[in-house]
Amino acid sequence: MKKIINTKNAPAPIGPYSQAVFANGILFASGQIAIVPETGELVTSSVQDETQQIMKNIAAVLQEHNLDFSHVVKTTIFLTDMAYFVKVNEIYASYFQDNFPARETVAVKGLPKNANVEITVTAVQ
């Protein structure tokens, strides 16, 4: 059995996918970019502000299934430029206390809506 997770507190999907799917005790969240849910606008002021909005969006998806960042076991960070790594990592790290999740960070040629950062998470209940 799988349960589709959707919340108004995170951006609506911009394609044929769900914000997250919960199956067998695992939450698989789709990648989040820095879209403000209330306006649908992409945050473009700085890569730090982008990352902050992404993490807020992820928190909203997790909260919809009564989870938080302590439940996250795996993340993937996509960057359009590895020069953003330190700035993104600074904001990202502030959302985890200890027992950090497994993670990879990869550079990509482009992201939806010309975002600079996209982050996806997998969490366990």
Summarised one tens digit per residue, pLDDT across range 40-64 is: 999 999 999 999 999 999 999 999 9
> Tell me: the pLDDT tens digits for 4-31?
999 999 999 989 999 999 999 999 999 9
The neighbour count for residue 122, using CB atoms within 10 Å, is 17
Distance of alpha carbon 96 from alpha carbon 79, whole angstroms: 20
In this prediction, residue 101 has a pLDDT band, given cuts at 50, 70 and 90, of very high
CATH placement of domain 2-124 = 3.30.1330.40
What pLDDT score was predicted for residue 14? 86
Query: In the chain, pLDDT over 90 holds for what percent of residues?
Result: 95
- 57-84 burial code (b ≥16 CB/10 A, e <16): bbbbbbebbebebebbeebebbbbeeeb
What mean pLDDT, rounded, does the chain reach? 97
Domain residues of the chain, as ranges?
2-124
Q: Would you state the pLDDT for residue 97? A: 87
The secondary structure of 49-84 as a DSSP string is HHHHHHHHHHHHHHHHTT--GGGEEEEEEEES-GGG
